[in-house]
Amino acid sequence: MGFILMLIVGGLIGWIAGGILGKDIPGGILGNIIAGIVGSALGSWLLGDWGWHLGGIAIFPALIGTIILVAVASFILGKLRKK
């Protein structure tokens, strides 16, 4: 059950980060889940494991890490599309 909750929280964090930046994450729901989980790992690595936890994910570092991940990915994808 914890794994399913982690997927749901990862998807929500990816969706929120995309909404904050105004960028769509490629891949739809699966892209949101992957961005949320990878961004969570990035945020925990950069900022530590603090704040509220839900589904084994620290919410604030995960959100900040996902925002960074989505911003960098959209920048790179934007540059690749222009070529």
Tell me, what's the pLDDT at 83? 66
Q: What is the pTM of this model?
A: 0.84
Give the mean model confidence (pLDDT) for residues 35-48: 88
Tell me, what's the pLDDT at 60? 92
Q: Exposed, middle or buried: residue 32 (CB in 10 Å: 0-12, 13-18, 19+)? A: buried
Domain parsing of the chain, residue ranges = 1-81
Tell me, what's the pLDDT at 1? 66
Cα–Cα dist 81/19, whole Å: 22
Cα–Cα dist 54/83, whole Å: 41
Tell me, what's the pLDDT at 10? 85
Give the mean model confidence (pLDDT) for residues 5-24: 86
Tell me, what's the pLDDT at 19? 87
Sign for the CA dihedral angle at 10, 12, 13, 15 comes to positive
Nearest to 35 by CA among 79, 77, 81, 82: 77
60-77 pLDDT, tens digit each: 999 999 999 888 888 888
What mean pLDDT value characterizes the chain? 85
